[in-house]
Chain A
Amino acid sequence: MASDFALSVPAELESALRLKNVQYLVTQRPWLDLYGIHVRPVAPFGSVSRKPYVDPAPIHRCLPDELLHEVFARLAPYDLGRASCVCRKWRYSIRNPIFWRNACLKAWQVSGVVENYKILQKKYAGSWRKMWLDRPRVRTDGLYVSRNTYIRTGVAEWTVTNPVHLVCYFRYIRFFPSGRFLYKNSSQKVKDVAKSMNFRASKTDSVFGGHYTLSDDKVEAALLYPGTRPTVLRIRLRLRGTTAGANNRMDMLSLVTSGVNDNEFQGDGEAILGVVEGWQDDETHNPDVPAILHKRGLTPFVFVPFEEVEKSVLNLPVDKMDFFVPG
């Protein structure tokens, strides 16, 4: 075929250009594609000769659709996502917006039902499933873990002398849908910490609780360290995910410790967010406790669901895994 656009071609390529203009006639033989394919005649739907299709799975033979729906209603959203990959029947049953509506209302319960409906219509065209996938949310079925390392000079111990030690410590955050969160900073591994990250933890577990808010993809969290000099820890995070709906990474935007005035803060936790709202990064209301904007130990958080806590790579000791790059 002659080319449609004129090109200026250097002299050396003149011979090659002549080849381009030679036309080869290729006859089209579409029937050749049909050879080798076995076609079994399939009787149309209502025909008598059609063999009745017996579903091999007892669950499909026994349970009618509404009872399968009852079973799915008792699954968590992540289990529903996995169940959706099983077969066509399950995939289309799980598309039912009721499941996703319940999942969304539970995940964003802090905003309240009316607000959620409004956001649904405005941003997600009435599709709960779309809201579940696209709207950033904090995951509550596991821990967000940030692995930080630093190097410190080694100490001679008996015969073993290491010139440097690679020290590894973790920050753990667990969010709850009610607006509270738990925080722990420790060198213990994920599988040991996971058991103690709940409200029943004892003082020795050094798990601290606070409150957080989520606006779009920014999380503002504040907790108060108990003690004689009340110190408040403010963490600002940004949610993202490795794929739509995963919400499994959080970047640390800032980490500040500062002091609160004894008068400002009376009693309980929820108020702490209101107290520190709008504070500058270097603001402190207690002269004994300076405001420190932490610059180190700000590796992004990776989400580890509870069922993967035992086998997560974050459990590996430092000599086996010195770098861990969160995606």
Chain B
Amino acid sequence: MSSSPPPSSAAASPSCPKKMIALRSSDGETFEIEEAAALQSKTLENMIDEDCAGTPIPLPNVTGKILAKVVEFCSKHAEPGVDDESLRAWDAEFVNVEQATVFDYILAANFLEIPTLLNLTCNVVADMIRGKTPDEIRKFFNIKSIFSPEEEEEVRRENHWAFE
């Protein structure tokens, strides 16, 4: 189905086809993204408004692999006519990846200032922490606990209420 032209940007004229923005990742790969999708990122929105979107925008903090997925996310969320239920299911599938990738998504979402992606990924990590005992959390994230025995006891006493 054809998507309607982007509503807000002053640079795009309504009659010409969808404007594509080019992005270059840190390892030199180029990706194209529709303007409407790019506007989800505040960083990109600022760059587009300043009209430096002629040449590919360099994004030194994001690798090609992650940028591809971020472009996919923004395009999906910019699509009109997708109902909440299926979007949520799509989101759940999107973050069904291993830990390191989720952390990379968070970093990319923070750098590109995409509030929806940041919210989604932080919630995913919060879900990983929720409901686990401290030992389980340590094992899951491979965190080495360097508490001395006295400190361990003090911490336990301090937070005893959370276990009751």
Binding site for B on A (CB under 8 A): 55-60, 62-63, 67, 70-88, 90-91, 133, 241-248, 307
Extra contacts besides A58-B100, A87-B144, A307-B131 (17): CB < 8 Å: A55-B144, A59-B143, A70-B122, A71-B122, A75-B130, A79-B130, A81-B161, A82-B133, A82-B137, A86-B137, A87-B138, A88-B145, A90-B143, A241-B161, A245-B162, A246-B161, A246-B164
**Cβ contact of A243, chosen from B126, B130, B146, B161, cutoff 8 A:** B161
Chain B residues with Cβ below 8 Å from A71 are: 106, 122, 125-126, 129
A75 touches B129 (CB 8 A): yes
The size class of the interface chain B forms with chain A is 35 or more
**Cβ contact of A78, chosen from B99, B107, B118, B162, cutoff 8 A:** B162
- Residue from the set A71, A73, A243 with the largest chain B CB neighbour count within 10 Å: A71
A87 touches B145 (CB 8 A): yes
B143 touches A87 (CB 8 A): yes
Chain A residues with Cβ below 8 Å from B144 are: 55-57, 87
Chain B residues with Cβ below 8 Å from A241 are: 161, 164
Chain A binder among B10-18, B20-28, B87-95, B151-159? B151-159
A88 touches B103 (CB 8 A): no
- Residue from the set B107, B147, B159 with the largest chain A CB neighbour count within 10 Å: B159
Chain B residues with Cβ below 8 Å from A70 are: 106, 118, 122
Say how far A261's CB is from chain B's closest CB, in angstroms.
43
A67 touches B143 (CB 8 A): no
| Residue of chain B at shortest CB distance from A57 | B143
Chain A residues with Cβ below 8 Å from B129 are: 71, 75, 79, 83
Which 8 pairs between the two chains have the least Cβ-Cβ distance? A81-B162, A245-B161, A62-B103, A246-B164, A85-B134, A74-B126, A57-B143, A246-B161
Say how far B144's CB is from chain A's closest CB, in angstroms.
6
Given A79-B129, A246-B161; A59-B138 close (CB under 8 Å): no
Some 15 contacts from A to B, beta carbons below 8 A apart, are A58-B142, A59-B103, A59-B143, A62-B103, A62-B107, A67-B110, A67-B122, A79-B126, A79-B129, A80-B162, A81-B161, A82-B162, A83-B129, A91-B155, A241-B161
CA distance A87 to B135 in the complex (A): 10
A75 touches B141 (CB 8 A): no
Chain A residues with Cβ below 8 Å from B76 are: none
Chain A residues with Cβ below 8 Å from B126 are: 71-72, 74-75, 79
Chain B residues with Cβ below 8 Å from A77 are: 162
A244 touches B142 (CB 8 A): no
Say how far A104's CB is from chain B's closest CB, in angstroms.
14
| Residue of chain B at shortest CB distance from A77 | B162
